[in-house]
Structure formats: C-alpha cells, structure tokens
Structure 1
Amino acid sequence: MYKYDQTKTPLFDALLDYVNNDTIPFHVPGHKKGQGMVNRFKDFIGTNVMAIDVTVFKQVDSLHKPTGAIKEAQELAADANNADDTFFCVHGTSGAIQAMIMSVVGEGDKILVPRNVHKSVTAGIILSGAMPVYMQPEIDSNVGVALNVTPETVQTTLEQNRDAKAVLIINPTYYGVSTDIEKIAGIVHSYDIPLIVDEAHGPHLHFSDKLPISAMDAGADMCAQSTHKIIGSLTQSSMLQVRRGLVDVNRVKTVMSLLQTTSPSYILLASLDVARMQMVTEGKELLDKTIELAKYARAEINNIEGLFCFGEEVVGLDGAYDFDPTKITITCKNLGISGHELERILAEKYFIQPEMSDLYNILCVFSIGDTQEKVDALLIALREISKTCSNSGKNKIEIMSIPKIPLRMLSPRDAFNGNTISIELEDSVGEISAEFLLTYPPGIPVLCPGEIITDEIVEYVKALKDAGLYVQGTDDPEVNFIKVVNEHKRLNVITSA
C-alpha cells in the first residue's frame, strides 16, 4: 500500500542522535538545551524538549532546502497521505492555506470560495490580490450552523465565472459536515483549473474508512491540514499536501519559503514526523475507538432534556453529503441558554473546556487523546446543567437570520491596503469596510474588506454582542468602531458582487 517504510521517523531520529551524542551547542537558541532557561519554566516542561530545540544545520536538515532528514520525513508524509508532495508547516494551517491560495492565483484572478471560510482564506486572498467569488453554503436552521456548498452551487458559480482560476472547498466544516468532494473535483477539473481544499479539520480522514473521504483521495490538487487538531502533532504544526499537474509544485515551494520563518521549531517538525508514523501504523484502531466514544456521547447527549447533538441524520440534506462523527455539536437553545453561557458554565464550574461556542451550540472535538472517563465527566456535567436550566423557566432561544452577503465594491486587497478611517459601527452603514466582521453562528464572515456595510449587518452584530458572543476582526477589540475606506472614489471601484 505504501512505497516507503512508514515505521521510520527520520527527523525525530536525527534529533535524538544529536542529543545522544551530547553535542555541545554553539548555536541558537540561546537557552542552550535549557541551561540558560529560567528554572520555573524549565522544571515544568522538562529538559528533554529543550534538548531538541535546535537550529538549522546538516544533521537535522533545513526546512527551506531539505536534503536529508526533513526531505525524507516529508516524502514519508506524502506517501502516507496519497499526495505527490508534502510540505511541513510550522506557522499553522492558516499559513498553509495562505500559501495554497498564493500558489494558484495572483493579482485580479478570480477564486471561488464558500462564504463560511476561515479568515485565513480571506487573508490569503488579500496577500495574493485575487478576487473572491463567494458561494453560499446551505444552512441547517434547526441548529443554526452552516453545512457545506453543494456540487450544483459550484457548477452554477463556475458557469457564471468561466474565467475563474481556482476553486476552494472546505472538507469538512468546523461542525464536521462534508460535501460531495469527488463530484466537485470532477466539475472543477472539467474547467481545467485546480481544486484546493481547506482540510484543517480533516487530517484524520484518510486513515479510517468510517469517516468522510479525504481531499487527496477525492482527487483534489492541494489541501491544507491541521495535523495538530485531531491527530497527535503539536499546536501550530500542519501539512500542505500537493498533487502535481494543475499545480506547480515549484511555485508552492517558493511561496512556502517566502511565508515560513527561517528559524522553524524542530520540536514542531518532529511532532509531525511521529504523528504521521502513528497514524499509518495505529491510526485505524485509534480512530475506531474515537468514533465509538463519539457515538456513545452523541446518544447519551440526545437523552438529556433540552440538549440535542446532530449526527448522521443530516447526511442527505443539501450541503451534507457526509459527516465526521468526531465533531460533537451540542445545541442548547431549548434550555434557554446560549452556547456561550453553556461554555462558561462548563469551564468555570466543571473545568471542562469545549473547542468553541456560538449563540446556540458548543462544539466538542473528539480525538485520539480522549478517554471514556473524560467523556463521562462531560456527560455528568451536561446532565446537571440540564436539570438546573430546565427548572429555571427560561424560554428557548430563537434562531436569527444571517445577513445577506453584501455588495462588494473593492477587492479585499484594495480595501485592506487603502486609505482608511475609523468610525463608529452604528454610523458605518453605506461605507466600504476595510476590516472583517467575523462571528458565530454559523461560522460565516458577516463582512469582508471591500464590502458595503448594511443596516442588517450592524443590527446582527449588536444582537450577537448583546448575547455575549465574541465578535472579531476589527482593530477595536470591543467592535464599537470599524475601519472604512476613505476617499474610495480614487480607487479602482468594482461593481460586481
């Protein structure tokens, strides 16, 4: 099945050799294997991790021009993930997504993207100078979250934008919902352009036949994966998978080198090396246990009064071709509390921290590191919260309509880099935004740079803030002010939406 010996961990082994040889470091970092580190920190994390915190030299290879251990580790990762090339990423999947976009589109090029993209996608569009064409995902009005875009939406949007240079899809969404990515790959390739995929929440998909198909297995040309999210690498370590043909791998290599630090963390790189080995050798069994735990939790949560956890029943709805059961979305609106309130209670009273919350839900991500004991602790807490809230007499929270996608007047790059002025949000209606407004639910950007601010958007943001939800994207942390384009008539105004 694999070309190479997947039990090998060449980069981690090279670092262990460096340590075992008791090499004397006259190189950065300055703590010198922890010798110069403050004791309180060193005593907590231990000296082993500091011993492999090294810099670029021949024995441990160079991320920017790999010829040894890193080269071999990336080749093993490509083999493991059904890719032609893999690039290790130490600046998170956000950086990998930006590199992916900048590798396929440039100034003025059109790229089709779902509206519920992560902000790193729009950042990549700004950096590249490309022009986004947004596709509206389907919405589950019962739980108030975005599902995915349908193949039909992709087909229609491509027919309307035959000059598009690339299409980006999410697989799966934050909430675990996948589209028919194989069908979409066929549609996109019929236009002779690449399909690139934000697979931040799907690095585990390839390693289990009980999960949705992975982007590379479905025929995508590139995908960015958060190896740290579900499987065992360290936070900020990710992989960018590439299939040659419609994508110029040398362009990808150049862009990755442009964006990544010249002082990468070998701790993060080594964690990618061993995480790949673990998934190939043990992944199926580990994921089987994770999926069973998730199924158990979902069934138990659906027996708790006032709570609901959607699952495979969404498969077959528009925008929900498949579902990742390791994503546990707990809808609490029938208890009369917001997801934000439920997250706060769990964190402050029970010391249980969900991944995130929106107005109606919390999201708990299950992974290979979870246990029955920890899942039972979550269930006990949810049962107690249900009893308390059920007796409070609170009315259930109603689902709010999401504002329509506003008219775009400038490219995101022109708006972001333009002459701007900060004004009060309530006075900004009719102005061109130079900033983002990003909120949950359902994970769709309310406003992107270059778009016209509407009354509907301002009122929606106010309602979310009143509910205690975190609205982000503006320089003003309280989101009372927003930057808008000043003297925008001097810029190249674009009237297409």
Structure 2
Amino acid sequence: MGQESLPVLEAIEQFRDAGNYSFGLPGHRLGRGIDERTAAVLSPGAFEADVELAKQGVPEAEKLLAQAVGARDAVFTTCGSSISIHTALLTVTGPGQKVLVDRNVHKSVVASLILAGAIPVWLRPRWDYENQIAHPATAGDVVEALERDPEISAVLAITPTEYGTGADVHGIADACHQRGVPLLVDEAWGAHFPFHPDLPTAAVRAGADITIQSLHKAGGGLCQSSIMLLGGDLVDPVDLRLRLDLITTTSPSALFYGSIDGWRRRMAAEGEKLFGRALDRAARLRERLGGVTGLAVLGSDIIGHDSVAEWDPLKLSVDVSALASPVTRRRSGSNRSSGSPRSSGTPAG
C-alpha cells in the first residue's frame, strides 16, 4: 500500500456499501437504533461509520503512518494521549525504579508514575523571567541529573511547550543513549512537525525512543485520537502493545482510527503545501499584531534564549501585560523581580 491508501476508512466504506447487518456490537446498529434528535445533532453518518470490523485496517494504517513520519513503528490509541503516556511509562519502568521527569508535566504523567510504582526525579524547566513562561530543560540539565543519580532508568521530556518552544531533543537523546536509558517525549503539540522543513525537528527523528502525539491538538484527529511513535531499539514494540492491551478499551471506535488514517493520508500528500500556507499566514498575523501598541509577540528570536533549541512558528503567543492598568503593571513588575511565576507552560497529554 502507498500513502494514498486509507485502510481504516476503506474498511468502513466496504462494510457500509455491502449493506451488511451486524448482530454484534455496536448496539445502535450503525444508526438504525438512534432517535431523530440524536441524529440531528450528531449526524447519522457518525453512527454509520462506527464499524467495529474496521479495526482490521489499523495495522496497515499504523505502518503507513510510521513510514510517513520516519518512525520504526506506530501505535494508534483511542483514549487520548493520557493512555499513551500510561502505556509508555508502564513499558519502560516499574515499581521502585527512578524516572527523570520534567516538573511541569501533564497530570497523566503523574498518574502513570503512580500506576507504575515508579519514583520521579524532578527536572526543573527553565523559567523565562522576561516572558514569564517556562521553557524545556537543556541537554546539560539532563546530563547533570543522570550523572547525579545513576539509578535513573528512563527520561520523560515535554517538548514543545504550549508556547511553541522546543528542547534540544538530539542532545537529550544522545545523553540518554550513552547510558542505555530510553527517552520518552510528550510531543502532544507537535504532530505536525514531520510534514514541513520549517517546523521543528520531530522528536522521533531526533532520537526519541517513544514519542506521544495528540492528533486533536495540532492534527486532524477527533478528540481522544493519539499515537505512539517508536524509534531506536531500546523499546520492544511487542512489550508496548502488551502494556496498552492491559489498560485500553476492548471496544475502540473506528471513528478515531479513521480520523487518524485520513489525517495521515492528507499530510503525506499535501502537508508541506498546507503548512507552508499556514506559516505564511502566521508570519503576516504576527507582524500585524507586533505593530499594535501594548502587544508583544513571541518570535523566532526566542531560539537560543536560555534553553530554547527550536520554536514552532505556528504557535501564536502574545504578551498583553503592557495593556494592564498602571497599578496592575506595578504589581506585575514586583512579581517579575521576585521570580514569582505568572504563568507556566504545561502541555496537556
């Protein structure tokens, strides 16, 4: 199959076009059992596409996605990136083992540590006092932590942040792999990175062993659509799928799989063109906003600022603090000098 194929969507079409009637799941019988109000709001098509047998197209769809983004393997999940994070950590760590974790992780990471019985070793993000936002830790910070505590068995990093600032994944991966430690990257906001050269380097291409992406954040997937991408050889894909099987649903919706499948095909065919246009629009909007008195727009000059190795131009971050009243500005100024954070980057999983 080539990138123009749609294994999941084609399986749904074939089942629907054959006019088959299912005596198994789902109980709504492809929409025959729903009321008019439900059909009017959710559309009959959503129920008609809820074909359980479409799961048979997922393995081929995963292979196509892995090829498209340069991963060794890809795994689709339908319970959001929270379940992907749980699966990834359960695969690389266990009771009593130490994991180096960014301090500003999503709550799903904390839940994963509890489920695994692992011990977190917290890695502080770099605080940007000028912009009052958190940036990823540096590769040097990771090296220092690994040298300080040789018992660390895995590393989980967040990049990019919600503000679009990215870590030096190459450097962090090298530091981990020199010690035989797998690197997990919560790249929830970076599913679009592989499809245009002017976007940051995709973590799986920079050496990450497991990358988690949320396709409902920066991609075209329905909410709860997530993928895990494998790189390198430190993580066994069979182990990963076995852990996922322990905690995920046994009745995944074909709607989620289909949205991932369709998004991959479109990105492989048109991604560079589409993101090129989006980058151009973002640049023009950033320039216009930058000309408005009282607004400061985060730009490419953030690269090289402390720990920022890369930056996503499609993230439009605007500082509006200069629009505050004089009293509010004085309070804000005192907070800045004392180092009290007004906001922080906390990418969702």
1:334/1:395 contact within 8 Å kept: no
Letter of the 2:304 counterpart = G
1:40 matched to which residue of 2?
37
Give the partner amino acid of 1:129: G
- Structure 2 match to 1:224: 212
Q: Provide the aligned length of Structure 1 versus Structure 2.
A: 344
Instruction: Indicate whether 1:282 and 2:270 are aligned.
Output: yes
Residue 27 of structure 1, CA deviation: 2.1
Whose RCO is larger (CA < 8 A, sep 6+)?
Answer: 2
How far residue 28 of structure 1 moved from its aligned partner, in angstroms, is: 2.3
**Share of identical aligned residues, percent?**
34
Equivalent in the alignment of 1:407: none
- 1:22 aligned partner: 19
1:398 to 332, 339, 344: 332
How far off is 1:305 after superposition?
1.7
Q: 2:152 aligns with which of 164, 168, 182?
A: 164
Partner of residue 442, structure 1: 344
Over the aligned positions, Cα root-mean-square deviation in angstroms equals 2.0
Change (3 A) 1:115 1:329: same
Aligned counterparts of 2:4 and 2:342: Cα–Cα separation in 1: 41
Which 5+ residue runs of structure 1 have no aligned equivalent? Answer: 62-67, 337-391, 405-438, 446-497
What amino acid is aligned across from residue 441 of structure 1 in structure 2? S
SS at 1:276's partner residue?
helix
Gaps of 5+ in 2: none
1:368-396 CA distances to partner (integer Å, 9 max, x unpaired)? xxxxxxxxxxxxxxxxxxxxxxxx76642
Deviation per residue, 1:106-162 (Å, 9 max, x gap) = 001111111111111111111111111111111111221101111110110010011
Residues of 2 paired with 1:181 and 1:143: CA distance? Answer: 23
- State the Cα deviation string for residues 149-208 of structure 1 (Å, max 9, x = none): 111101100100111111111121111111111111111100011111001000011111
Question: How far does residue 444 in structure 1 lie from its aligned partner after superposition?
Answer: 5.6
Q: TM-score, normalised by structure 2?
A: 0.94
CA-CA distance at 1:222 after TM superposition? 0.7
Task: Look up the SS of the partner of 1:88 in the other structure.
Answer: strand
Contact map agreement 1:150 1:319 (CA 8 A) in 2 = yes
More helix by share: 2
Counterparts of 1:63-102 in structure 2, within 5 Å, are 68-102=56-90
1:182 equivalent to 2:182? Answer no
Q: Which amino acid aligns with 1:52?
A: A
The structure number with the bigger radius of gyration is 1
Deviations for 1:424-443, whole angstroms, at most 9, x for unmatched residues? xxxxxxxxxxxxxxx97213
Q: Aligned-pair distance for 1:300?
A: 1.3
Is the counterpart of residue 12 in structure 1 residue 28 in structure 2? no
Structure 1 position 38, deviation (Å): 2.3
Deviation at 1:402, TM superposition (A): 11
SS in 2 for 1:327: coil
Amino acid at match of 1:217: R
Question: Cα offset for 1:401?
Answer: 6.3
Q: Does the C-alpha gap of structure 1 residues 440 and 18 become closer, same or farther in structure 2, counting only changes over 3 Å?
A: farther
Q: Normalised by the size of structure 1, how large is the TM-score? A: 0.66
Structure 1 letter corresponding to 2:262:
V
SS in 1 for 2:131: coil
Q: Does 1:52 align with 2:52?
A: no
Alignment of 1:20-419 (within 5 A): 20-55=17-52, 57=53, 60-61=54-55, 68-336=56-324, 395-396=328-329, 398=332, 400=335
Per-residue Cα deviation, 1:53-100 (whole angstroms, up to 9, x for no partner): 133x4xx23xxxxxx411111111111121111110101111111111
Give 1:230 deviation, angstroms: 1.5
Q: Aligned partners of 2:166, 2:346: CA distance in 1, in Å?
A: 16
Evaluate the alpha carbon distance shift between residue 395 and residue 163 of structure 1 in structure 2; reply closer, same or farther with a 3 A threshold: closer
- Three-state SS of the structure 2 residue aligned to 1:216 is helix
